[in-house]
Amino acid sequence: MKYVIEGGNKVFGKVEIQSAKNSVLSLISASVLSSEEVFIENCPNIYDVECMLKIIKKLGARVKWADGGIYIDPTKINSTCICDKLSKKIRASLFLVGPLLGKFGAVTINQTGGCDIGSRPLDIHIDALEKLGASVEAYDDCLYFHADKLKGNFVRLKYPSVGATENAMMCATLSCGVSVIENCAKEPEVVDLQRFLNKMGAKIQGAGTSCIRIEGVKCLHGCSFKPIPDRIETGTFMLLVATLGGELEINGIKPENILFLAEKLRNNACKISLYNDIIYIRVNNNLKGLGEIVTAPYPGFPTDLQPLACACALSCDEETVIKETIFENRFKYAEELLKLNANLEISGNTLRARKSELVGSTVYAPDLRGGASLCIAGLYAEGVTVVENAEVVERGYENFDKKLKSIGAKIIKKK
C-alpha cells in the first residue's frame, strides 16, 4: 500500500483524537485477568489492535466490536501458547506474558516483533517476572514462563521500561502478597492501566511515580472503561500544523500529557490555546526552530514523536538538534527524508535538521512513526511524494488519510 501526497497546502479544520494505541494494547492484555466480560470504549480500529484481538481469540477469548468499542470475554481461554506468526508481527503480544502467567501459571511466547527501531531486550521483563516467582526456559525461538505459585516481592527495574512495568503490574495483581516495583515507567499509559485494573478490583497505587505498590487479590471482575486519548496522535497533528501552517482544533485530548510539546511550539510562532479537552493551534509564519530535543522516558520528550519533530524542523528557520537516547535505529526514516532533499546531518545518536526546500520523490516508510514523518514532509514538499509501505503507518493511526483529507491535505491511499 502507498500514499500519494501533493504538497503545498496549509491545514484548517477539526480533528478528533483516538484512544491511545499504547494504552489500548495493554488493556486488551489485562482483560485476560478478568473472570467476567470487559468493555473497552472508543477503541481505535487499527492494525495493532486487530492483531492483539486475533491473538487472544486464538487463546479462546471471545471478542466483539460493538457500541464503538470492544467486548472481551476471557472466561473461555483454554490456551497459554502464543507461538505463531501473529506474535512475531507485534511486540505488544509480550504484554500478555504477565497476565497469562498471573492467571494460569504458564505462558509460551515467540520472540516478538514490531517496528525495527532498535534493540528492545526482554531481560528487564524476565528479571521482573522471575522476582515474582516465575521460571523461564528458552527453546527454538520461544520462551516458556511458568510458576507453581507467584508471590509478592520487591522488584527493581534496571530501566524504566513501560512494557516491563506493565507486565510486572499485571502479573502481581493476582499474586499472593504485596509487590513493590521500583524505577517504574511513569508514562500516562501506565497510569491508565492502573485505573483499568483497579476498576476490575485490583489494589494498585503509585502509577505515574517511580514506585508502584500492588496488593494481590484472588480475582478480578468485569467493567466498562474509556482509555486516555492518544498523546502521540495529538502531537502528530500539532507538529503537522506547525510544519504546514494553518489552524486546527484538536478535540478529545488530555492537555497535561502534551504540555511539553505545547510549550515548545508556543515559544516559536505557534499560537496555542487549551480549553478542557481541546487544543487550538494557529500558525501563520515559519517556526524559528525547535532548539534541542533529547528523547527520554516520560515526562521527557517521547521517542515516538522524534521523527515527526524532525519533519517539522525542516520547515524552521533555525537549526534543530535531535538526540535519540532510547532506540539506536530510530533515524532510519532520515535516510528517506534525504530523498526529498532534506538538509540533515547525522552523527551517532545526534541529528541536525536545517531549513530545507523539499522536493517530492518516492520514499519508503521504515516504521510507524517514521512513516508518519515522511507524510508530513511530503505534505510540506513541492510536488508529489509517494510513501511506499504505508501500511506501517496504519498500525497506529485510524483513518490517517481520511483525517488528513478532512483538514485540506492532498493525500490518496492506493493499493
The side-by-side arrangement of strands in the sheet containing 350-354 is 292-294, 320-323, 350-354, 343-347
CB of 231 closer than 8 Å to CB of 302: yes
Question: 51, 115, 171, 375: which is the annotated catalytic residue?
Answer: 115
Query: Residue 283's pLDDT band (boundaries 50, 70, 90)?
Result: very high
Read off φ and ψ for residue 309, nearest 5 degrees: -65, -35
| Residue range 263-274: mean pLDDT, rounded | 90
Q: Summarize the confidence of residues 203-231 as an average pLDDT.
A: 98
Residues 29 and 144 in one domain: yes
Residue 118's pLDDT is 45
CATH, residue 160: 3.65.10.10
Q: Are residues 116 and 8 both part of a single domain?
A: no
C-alpha–C-alpha distance, residues 132 and 113, integer Å = 25
Same domain, 240 and 97: no
**What Rg value do the Cα atoms of the chain yield, rounded?**
21
Does residue 133 carry a pLDDT above 70? yes
| pLDDT of residue 116 exceeding 80 | no
As a whole number, mean pLDDT of residues 149-177 equals 96
Question: 336 lies in which domain range?
Answer: 2-18+229-414
Q: Which helix (H) or strand (E) holds 372?
A: helix 368-380
CA-CA distance, 337 to 287, in Å (whole number)? 19
- Tell whether 259 and 283 lie within a shared domain: yes
Q: How far is CA 118 from the centre of its chain?
A: 15
Cell of 257: 500529557
| Reported confidence tier of residue 172, pLDDT bands at 50, 70, 90 | very high
Same domain, 168 and 300: no
In the prediction, which pLDDT does 401 show? Answer: 97
Give per-residue pLDDT as tens, 8-33.
Answer: 999 999 999 999 999 999 999 999 99
116 and 139, same structural domain?
yes
Query: How many CB atoms within 10 Å of residue 71?
Result: 17
Query: pLDDT of 369-413, one tens digit each?
Result: 999 999 999 999 999 999 999 999 999 999 999 999 999 999 999
Q: Which of 119-128, 231-240, 271-280, 282-291 has the lowest mean pLDDT?
A: 119-128
Kindly report the CA angle at 357 between 356 and 360, in degrees rounded to 5?
Answer: 115
Claim to verify: residue 336 and residue 196 sit in the same structural domain: no
So what's the pLDDT on residue 117? 45
pLDDT at 138 over 90: no
Q: Please state, in angstroms and rounded to a whole number, the distance separating the CA atoms of residues 358 and 380.
A: 7
Mean pLDDT score across all residues of the chain: 94
83 is catalytic: no
Residues 14 and 27 in one domain: no
Asked if pLDDT for residue 115 goes beyond 60, the answer is: no
Q: Could you give the number of structural domains in the chain?
A: 2
Q: What is the pTM of this model?
A: 0.95
Collapse the DSSP code of 326 into the 3-class scheme (helix H, G, I; strand E, B; otherwise coil) and give the result: coil
Residue 127: predicted pLDDT: 95
> Is the confidence at residue 44, as pLDDT, over 50?
yes
Same domain, 154 and 97: yes
Residue 294 shares a structural domain with residue 359: yes
Q: What is the DSSP letter of 96?
A: G
Asked whether residue 302 carries a pLDDT value surpassing 50, the answer given is yes
User: In terms of residues, how long is the chain?
Assistant: 415
Kindly report, residue by residue over 304-343, the tens digit of the pLDDT.
999 999 999 999 999 999 999 987 778 999 999 999 999 9
Is residue 121's pLDDT more than 90? no
Measured distance CA(398)–CA(401) in Å, rounded: 9
Has residue 120 got a pLDDT over 60? no
160 and 121 within one domain: yes
Least confident of 180-184, 219-223, 297-301: 297-301
List of residues 6+ apart from 399 with CB closer than 8 A: none
> Which residue, of 191, 225, 259, is where some domain finishes?
225
Determine the average pLDDT of the residues in 291-311.
95
Q: List the single range of 41-55, 256-270, 395-409 with lowest mean pLDDT.
A: 256-270
